[in-house]
Structure 1
Amino acid sequence: MSLVTLNSLGVTLGAPLFQKLDLTISPGDRLAIVAANGRGKSTLLNILAGKLEPGEGAITRARSLTLSYMEQDPPPHLMNLSLREAVAEALAPDIRDYESWRAEIVLDEIGVPEALRDRPMQHQSGGWQRLAMIARLALADADLMLLDEPTNHLDLAKIVLLERWLNALPAGKAVVIASHDRAFLDRVTGRTLFLRLQESRLYALPYSQARRALEEEDLARGRKFDKDMKMVDQLRRQAAKLNNIAVNSGSDLLTVKTKQLKERAERIESEAEAAHRERSAGLVALGGAEAQARVLIRIAPFEERLPDGSLLFRSGPLFVCRGDRIVLLGENGAGKSRLMERLQRAIAAEGAADPAIQPTPSLKPGYMDQALAMLKTARTPLGALAARIPLGEQRARSLLAGAGIAIEKQEKPLDRLSGGQRARLALLMLRLTEANFLLLDEPTNHLDIEGQEALSQELAEEGRAAFVVSHDRAFVRAAANRFWLISGRKLTEVEGPDAFFDSLGA
């Protein structure tokens, strides 16, 4: 018995997103949806949820199907509710008054502090908002759960908690997840749909294995296509030679043979399948000059304390050199954000100089925070660039198009952009600072896998220096060459991230 069946589904929103999609979702499925930013993942989830109708094809749902949907952003009607009320609202109205205790149990299980439960959702951090939406899923207890970028804004401990919850669901529950978190998908899904314009590909494998299978299939198709095109060229050359002979000799037989060769070439050419080439959603090169000094930042021993005077962590002497890509590890609340902010202030020389942090005078920082604060004062993508640096309109539009923001969206409100497009806009603005030292707080939030891999590759370029906070395990392993850890109220350097990941069960 299937829960949902898609037959030859197609969607066009301004431009075609996908066509002729066939898919069956059955009880117990754990399905990952993978595609570049803006290529239809959220659109497909909205169709599955019944919020959007496809332009082509048909969708069939089981008559008794119950469904819950966690979108990327909390619904607006929840934002004025307290976190506690927002979670309890997922209960059916007829049982909400006398079964609200179920919401409290879920909030306890996911570790929401009592002090935060009565704070309005609009004043919660992105992480707590995300956990509230996950708690709503748990209460809904639906047959089919749809999750759109569920790990965004979560620290690694909470991602592991989400993984355990998903893996402990009853065998009959079906889950569909759109995510760019490769490690997360490997741990919670067993089927992978690569959403493509012409021919989407489905594998009964978790993400990493499915991607290898997809790449091998694309390579095989590419080799066959090249072979077919060589055959087409040879047939047409033979046809041209025969045609010349036929004209000179007046042979009807050769004329017929020429026609047959041309028809065969046309048939092979029309049936040949070119290897798939993923259309880039827009890659942003960070640019920037290499810092000239060998040691960029010297850090003397210091203590970081909370406003009440209690110790958050203490640090021994540390340093940052040219070419260092340092990832800061630690559980939520350990002090990662405070250290990031302290480094930023010290480098920018905001207020009194920090006696513990001594940056080299040639250091030019570029900062990207997970809330993308650099975008908050701008109304449009074009306005965001104009506020950052004087550019001619043609140059600005070209840069935005290269970052995956189409001309028709460049003067629309920023909230019309997808999360991935906003992240790419922030990276573009970071590029325009021409920084030689990058401070990146959760830079992969909303970035598609292609963008994450491009960013990690660029950070790994010789001479690039960066200080990064990230909970994306695949990105951390690929991008960093040094690791600092805040644990047990101490900031120390460690050999790698795996011991920390293991301590969280990741």
Structure 2
Amino acid sequence: MALITLRNLGVTLSGPVISNLNLTVGAGDRVGIVAPNGRGKSTLLNCIAGRLDPTVGEVTRSRGLRVGYVEQNVPIALMELPFADVVRQVLSAEQAASESWRADVVLDGLDVPEVLRQRPLSQLSGGWQRLALLARVWVTDPDVLLLDEPTNHLDIAKIARLEDWLNALPRDVPVLICSHDRAFLDATTNRTLFLRLEQSQVFSLPYNRAREALEQADASDERRYHRDMKAAQQLRRQAAKLNNIGVNSGSDLLTVKTKQLKQRADRLEDAARPGFLERSAGAIRLANRGVNAKVLIALDDASVETSDGTLLFKSGKQWICQGDRIVLLGKNGAGKSRFVEMIRRAIIGQNGVPEAIRLTPSLVLGHSDQNLSSLADDDTPLAAITRLFELGEQRARTLLAGAGIGVDMQSRAIGRLSGGQKARLAMLVLRLQAPNFYLLDEPTNHLDIDGQEALEDELLTQEASCLLVSHDRSFVRAIGNRFWVIEKRRLVEVDGPEEFFASAVGQMA
């Protein structure tokens, strides 16, 4: 029995976002919703939740259906409330008086430590804030759960815990998940909707198997499209010949026949609608200026410390060589970002860097942190690019457009860009810096799956040397050829990431 039905759904905001979408959601469905940045995923969830009316078509929900929607961002009004109060706040007065235990059950189910339950959300990590929103919705006992980018800001252990929690839900509770985390989608879904402006596709498969089916369907569509376009061209050539003969002979029959051929060609072209030609929200390109040195960075037992001097770990003797793509693994708080920042400061020549870090003189850095802090919110993309690099305005506008920053957004404050647009702008800055060493802290944050795969392809194709931190398991597996793990206050090289991933799951068991 269908709990939610979408019929010919279409949404137009500043332009068409969704069109002619048909979908049914029944008990037990775990639907992954996949699309490039800005292509309507959150809009679709808002329509299903009843928070936005579609422009055309309809959304039908079974009578009395309670829909729980976990949105991406924490409302400002909740930031100063303690974690537990954020959850209890949504209980009715009667429930709060007699069933406050409901909140405790949800918090226990998500393994929220007692010490965090009384802290305001503003003092917690982005990952705990996301889980607070989830707990706040789940305590209302919804019949359907909608999750918008649920793994944003979660470390690997919390992602694993969320996977376990979702898979332990009653099987009759449908869950719809918008996510760019491929491994998470594979672990939690049994259906996949590839949301497209035209010809959205649904497969009763988890993400990776659905992706293979989509590629086969797209290949078939492409063959049919080219065949139909070729047939339409032949019809138009025939029509042109008949038209010339008809004009010269004055034959009304040939004029009618010419019109019919043109109409057949029009129908073929209109029906083609090549969904397989839909593209990502913007291209990602990198550069590698190369370097002659074999060893780029040498570490001689460098110490990584907190701001008050507490030792987090020591590096031991380690080397980063040309062609290395090193993934740095460790639990939250182990010092990964501090280590990356220490390397960055050493490369740019800041004071206070340990002598235990030695660099080849020809090293040129390309750096991006997880908050994209090199991009000022009050700057504009056009001003930033033209100031940082010797580019004419037209060249800068062309590069920005290619990265998915349209002309209408190029003079808009960077703070008003979406996370995906800002991430692509950061990748463009990296490309123009033409580095020979990349230092990347959570580079896939905010990138859609097309963007993640483009970044993977560029790092591999450019044979880029890099040190990176990521909680994206698919990205780590695709990119890394060396792996460092922070454990017991030491930096240890391991053969691969799987043991660390498994231990992260064990931490939450």
TM-score (norm 1): 0.90
What is the match of residue 4 of structure 1? 4
Deviates more, 1:127-136 or 1:114-123: 114-123
Give the superposition deviation at 1:505.
4.3
1:421 aligns with 2:424: no
Is the 2:68–2:138 Cα contact (8 Å) retained in structure 1?
Answer: no
Distance verdict in 2 for CA 1:302–1:278, change over 3 Å: same
2:196, 2:275 → 1: CA distance?
12
* Residue identity opposite 1:198 in structure 2: E
Q: How does 1:251-270 map to 2 (within 5 A)?
A: 265=265, 267-270=267-270
What is the match of residue 42 of structure 1? 42
Q: How does 1:53-452 map to 2 (within 5 A)?
A: 53-237=53-237, 265=265, 267-274=267-274, 276-306=276-306, 312-385=312-385, 388-389=388-389, 392-452=392-452
Is the 1:485–1:492 Cα contact (8 Å) retained in structure 2?
Answer: yes
What is the match of residue 51 of structure 1? 51
Give the superposition deviation at 1:345.
2.2
Is the 1:219–1:275 Cα contact (8 Å) retained in structure 2?
Answer: no
Give the superposition deviation at 1:236.
5.0
2:318, 2:24 → 1: CA distance?
54
1:23, 1:422 → 2: CA distance?
32
Deviates more, 1:23-32 or 1:161-170: 23-32
3-state secondary structure, aligned to 2:374: helix
Give the superposition deviation at 1:415.
4.3
Consecutive unaligned residues of structure 1, counting only runs of 5 or more, are: none
* Residue identity opposite 2:473 in structure 1: R
* Residue identity opposite 2:140 in structure 1: A
Is the 2:368–2:440 Cα contact (8 Å) retained in structure 1?
Answer: yes
1:340, 1:464 → 2: CA distance?
17
* Residue identity opposite 1:504 in structure 2: A
Is the 1:290–1:463 Cα contact (8 Å) retained in structure 2?
Answer: no
1:359, 1:107 → 2: CA distance?
47
* Residue identity opposite 2:54 in structure 1: P
1:259, 1:401 → 2: CA distance?
40
Deviation string 1:250-302 (CA, Å, 9 cap, x unpaired) is 99988887776666555544544545212331113233522332211001124
Give the superposition deviation at 1:391.
5.0
CA RMSD of superposed structures (Å): 2.9
Is the 1:186–1:208 Cα contact (8 Å) retained in structure 2?
Answer: yes
Aligned residues: 506
3-state secondary structure, aligned to 2:222: helix
What is the match of residue 27 of structure 2? 27
2:129, 2:172 → 1: CA distance?
28
Give the superposition deviation at 1:57.
1.4
3-state secondary structure, aligned to 1:157: helix
2:236, 2:382 → 1: CA distance?
50
2:100, 2:443 → 1: CA distance?
37
What is the match of residue 497 of structure 1? 497
2:307, 2:396 → 1: CA distance?
43
Deviation string 1:337-365 (CA, Å, 9 cap, x unpaired) is 22222222222232223122112222222
Distance verdict in 2 for CA 1:46–1:352, change over 3 Å: same
Is the 2:34–2:180 Cα contact (8 Å) retained in structure 1?
Answer: yes
Distance verdict in 2 for CA 1:24–1:358, change over 3 Å: same
Deviates more, 1:246-255 or 1:165-174: 246-255
Distance verdict in 2 for CA 1:271–1:324, change over 3 Å: same
Deviates more, 1:311-320 or 1:290-299: 311-320
1:115, 1:423 → 2: CA distance?
34
Give the superposition deviation at 1:218.
1.1
Give the superposition deviation at 1:239.
5.8
Distance verdict in 2 for CA 1:421–1:235, change over 3 Å: closer
Is the 2:442–2:469 Cα contact (8 Å) retained in structure 1?
Answer: yes
2:208, 2:170 → 1: CA distance?
25
3-state secondary structure, aligned to 2:428: helix
Deviates more, 1:51-60 or 1:297-306: 297-306
Deviates more, 1:334-343 or 1:246-255: 246-255
* Residue identity opposite 2:457 in structure 1: Q
Deviation string 1:165-217 (CA, Å, 9 cap, x unpaired) is 00000011111111011111011011111111122111111111111111111
1:282, 1:251 → 2: CA distance?
52
Consecutive unaligned residues of structure 2, counting only runs of 5 or more, are: none
Is the 2:327–2:482 Cα contact (8 Å) retained in structure 1?
Answer: yes
Q: How does 1:449-488 map to 2 (within 5 A)?
A: 449-488=449-488
Is the 2:298–2:358 Cα contact (8 Å) retained in structure 1?
Answer: yes
Deviation string 1:436-462 (CA, Å, 9 cap, x unpaired) is 222111111110011000001111124
